[in-house]
Structures are given as structure tokens and as C-alpha cells.
Structure 1
């Protein structure tokens, strides 16, 4: 299994009081290296090119994110900030998904995990928001569509917050289907069941306090059958772990085993329809211990039925 990251992703620093801290990525990297020595083939994430970003973002947003910065902090909205290292971090976070898509499509390995930050799924066509600067999974999906000619790409988002940016970007493109469960009444207060787009959207809201049983039932009864019917040629995952019961940003009651279960289901689905091709990208998760545990559970579920690859 491939794993992509880059030191630049640790240099995005929105301030000591901000929940989207560099420590988030560091604990994930430490946990994965400790738990899976020799089982992950680590590769450096290249920077995305401007043309890659322009498939999903307006030029004004790209220029804003990549603008040179000397001030310690720049406020983009009420909860999204950049630092001097943010532009490089955002470019490499987006580039990880592009490189991972190329690798799985060219047969290097069917599975890849992008251990990157800042997260991306709130970034819309025109706006950075919700801790997100560029939409990493959307950039990867557009690359898979345009460069590899795929006609059925599934973006699966189990972050506790709705990926409003991903929906915004693809809601009129039936080649990219978006599937999300997220907590009701939570930022960004979007992602309603009635949102259908071009028939390529499925959102299910989970009431605060929902536990693993409810989460699994929703996926087993509605979400996974819908993805199965779509028959994706590639599965892209927005892997947010802020639905964990210890996470301070939300009120779901999920545990690491719940994320492992869903990951295994998505892996089986990818094997049925997409020759096993699945690329996962880190999104949210703000309790450091829970984030490390869930990342290990997620990657472990992908590795369980996957061949061991050299690396480390």
C-alpha cells in the first residue's frame, strides 16, 4: 500500500489556539510508522500544478492561497488562517492526491493513503473555509476524470462535517458522485438529503449522539448500496475522524472500530467495481489520541486484505 506525505504539510500553522494544528499530522505519521513498519511504501507528495488546481478552483482563490506571506498569520475567514508555510503545505496536500491517483491507475498499487494537511473538503470553487484552503479530494477526482478518462468516480466522505466544497464543485457533474454522512446542525449547515445535484449526490444527516450502530446501519442500508449501484471505477475517500466520541468539535459517538468497519466495506466495493483502486485522504479529527487510533484502524482495514509492499 502506498502512503503520501510531505514535510511542508507540517509547516502550515494557523496559530497555537487553532484546532487544526501541525501536531495532528505528526501523530498520524508517528502512529502509522510505528504500527505498520515495512507495510507502507512511503512516497513524497509532489506539489500540485496550477492547471491541476484550476480544474476545480477559480483563479482568485488559487492566487489568494498561494500569495507570498511574511506576516505570522493571515485571517481568511472567521476560522481559516494561513501562515508563511501554508501555500507550500496546500500545494503538496493537493499534489498527494494527484500522485496517488496516477499510481493506482497505472498499477503501482491499488491502494493509497494521503497523510496530509490542511484538510480540503470545505474549500469551494471560490472560497477557502472551515480550516480548508484547497480541496484536495476534488483536485484528485478532477485529475482522475480528465487525465485518466474515468466516467464514474465515487467520493465517499465520512467526516463529521459535510464536505460542502466537494459538493459545490461536482454537483452538476454526473461523472463524480458524492456520498456523505455528517452530523445534523453542525458547520457548515449544508448537505441535506434533498440535495440531488445531477443525481450524483447522497447526503444523510446523523443526529447528535448517534453511535456506531446507527452509523453502520445508515451505511449498510442506504449509502453502500447506492455506491454499489453507481459501480465506480475509482473510490476516493475523504477520511475525517472527528466523529469519534472524544472529538471536541462534534457530538457523534463513533469509535475506531466503526471507521475500520466502513473502510473494509469500501475496500470490498472497490474490489468489486474498481479493480481495488481506492485513494484515501486525511480530513478532520481534532483529538490527537483518537485521530492516531482511527488513522491506524483505517489504514489497517485497507491493509488487511492487501498484499504487502516493500518500503517503510
Structure 2
């Protein structure tokens, strides 16, 4: 059975009126999954909060304290895009803890894969800075947790958000134990993700960026994604796969868009699952990143989840 990690605490991260990364993203998704009877097909678990020590696997204490102080004093803007409200620090700790909750259940053999329906998202958060709607880098913390607690030596992070995950890349750019693979629109926010960015030092060759023009069509995207998965898994032999699942590659997303249909996210998931079955016993944890079309996001996520359920 597929794990679905969710808690209403994520709705309390208040980004204010008109912000695209808002609680309705999750409210609409939960409502749709319940009305379509999908909800009952998952093992629903509430996340634990990540400990400060676990967040420190990626972020220095000074930055963590900055986020906490913003929340404790009523909130504010970390940058032009990124909001902290009074409840955001607690929500962010639980968002970071969601994949850790899933990992523990998967690594003990209870379940095979999981989707974390969480916010705030994470892949733009660098070790020392929140940006792009992101406070703590949930997928990066999960990758380091797999290494520190379970002693895994090869973790693959696959990122299909329309925006390049600069924070995840920064965290592991010199690290050969975490392979970061991203397909994204370019040139586009945040400005990183050129194909020449392949890692540094011991991490050289462990970053794969596939920048795509805005007119890239679905068929081409899926072909490039399948080839990328073949390339990085065959050489890297991952022991666990994490997905930064951004659904702003959907064709009508208001702040992204790369011409994918709702059904394409099922196909992307099947490609990852084929690799996971071959190399790492099917072990996948997927974390919600972007996706801002409020009526289509639930359908994109539903397609992703149906594939994880193998249905």
C-alpha cells in the first residue's frame, strides 16, 4: 500500500491573499481525493516534526533560528516571494518531517512508497537561505537522513518541477553520494540549471540538468525524462529514490507550464517506479513541490498517486 503523509498543520502556513503557494492547493487536493474515494486506498499517516538536529543535516543553526524568529514575532517576508507566518515554522518542521516519517516506514519494510502532501515546499531552499516559497529543503533533508540513519551510500533525487531545484543542487554539488537529476524550463526562475552544471570536485558527474525551452511538448519531455532516468540509474545504482514532485509543468499552470497533461504525471511516475523496482526494491518517497493551477493540481496529483498504487 502507498503511504500518504498529510496533516492539516500545513494549511496554517499562511502566505496571504493572492499568493500562488496557498493552502487551497492542499485543501482542493484532499477534497478531490476524498470525493473520488481515492483517499481510502492509501495508508494515511500524520508526519512527525523533524528535530532541529535533522534539519541541521542541511541547514545551519543560524538560518533555522532566523525562520523561527520570523514566526515567533508574527511573520514577515524572507524575500520578495517567500512568506513566514506565525505558524510557518511549525508547518515547515512537519513538512521536513513528512519524508522522514515515510522513510522510516519504508526502510523497516512496512510499505514500499509514499507521497508527502506538504507545504511549504522545499527545493529552492539552499542550506543558508529560504527562497522561491521554500523554507527548509524537505527532499535534501530526507536524502541526508537516509545516509545518516540508514547508512545508504547512493540516493537519487529526481526533480520534475518546472523550476530548477537550485537548493537541492547546492546542497549536494560536491557530493558523490547524492545524484541530483532535474528537468526544468530554462531560462527561467531561479536562473540556475544549465546543462554545464554537472557537479564539482568529488561530486563532478553527479548532477544532471536538462534545461528545456517553454515550447517543449509532452512527447519530447517524456522521452527526455525516460532517457535521463536510464542514464543516471544505470551508472549510479540508487539505493533509494526521492522525487521533488512539482506539478507546475502542467500545460496551464499560471506560473510555470511545460505542456504536460494531467495524465503525463502518471507516466513520469511509472518511469521512476520501473527504475526503483530494478535498483532499489521499489523504494520511493515523493514530496510535493510546485503546482499552482488550483483545479488541475488535484488531478495531476491523482495521476501520480494512481501510478504509485500500481493501478
TM superposition score normalised by structure 1: 0.95
**Shift in Å at residue 37 of structure 1?**
3.8
SS at match of 1:69: helix
Q: Which runs of 5+ in 2 are unaligned?
A: none
2:229, 2:275 within 8 Å by CA — same for their partners in 1?
no
User: Who is 2:34 aligned against?
Assistant: 33
- Deviations 1:74-113 (CA, angstroms, capped at 9, x unpaired): 0110110111110111000000011111111111101111
**2:299 counterpart residue number:** 293
Partners of 1:71 and 1:59 in 2: how far apart? 18
Alpha-carbon distance in 2 for matches of 1:95, 1:224: 30
Distance apart, 1:71 and its partner CA: 5.7
Corresponding position of 1:163: 165
1:181 to 170, 180, 183: 183
Deviates further, 244-253 or 39-48: 244-253
**Cα distance in structure 1, aligned partners of 2:209 and 2:144:** 21
**Which structure exhibits the higher relative contact order, with contacts defined as CA atoms closer than 8 Å and separated by 6 or more residues?**
1
Query: In structure 2, which of residues 57, 60, 68 is the aligned counterpart of residue 58 of structure 1?
Result: 60
Give the Cα separation in 2 of the matches to 1:203 and 1:96: 26
What CA RMSD, in Å, does the superposition of the two structures yield over aligned residues? Answer: 1.3
Paired position in structure 1 for 2:21: 20
Q: 1:70 to 1:231 in 2, by over 3 A?
A: closer
* Cα offsets for 1:246-286 (capped at 9, x unmatched): 10112411111211101001011111111110000000000
Instruction: Provide the rounded CA distance (Å) in 2 between the counterparts of 1:251 and 1:258.
Output: 13
Q: More displaced, 133-142 or 210-219?
A: 210-219
Which of 270, 280, 288 aligns to 2:286? It is 280
Which deviations, in whole Å up to 9, do the C-alpha atoms of 1:42-85 show, x marking residues without a partner?
Answer: 01111000000101011121111222636654011011011111
CA contact (8 A) 2:99 2:138 kept: yes
What are the within-5 Å matches in structure 2 for residues 169-248 of structure 1?
169-197=171-199, 198=203, 199-248=205-254
* Residue aligning to 1:133: 135
- Match of 1:256, SS? coil
Structure 1, 263-272 or 30-39: larger mean CA deviation? 30-39
Structure 1 runs of 4+ aligned residues shifted over 4 Å read 70-73
- Residue 196 of structure 1 and its aligned partner are, at CA, apart by 1.4
C-alpha deviation, 1:223, in angstroms: 3.6
2:183 alignment partner, SS class: strand
Q: Which runs of 5+ in 1 are unaligned?
A: 306-312
CA deviation string 1:187-233 (max 9, x = no partner): 10101111111121000011012121111111123343322331111
Inter-partner Cα distance in structure 2 for 1:226 and 1:162: 17
1:202–1:223 CA contact under 8 A, matched in 2:
no
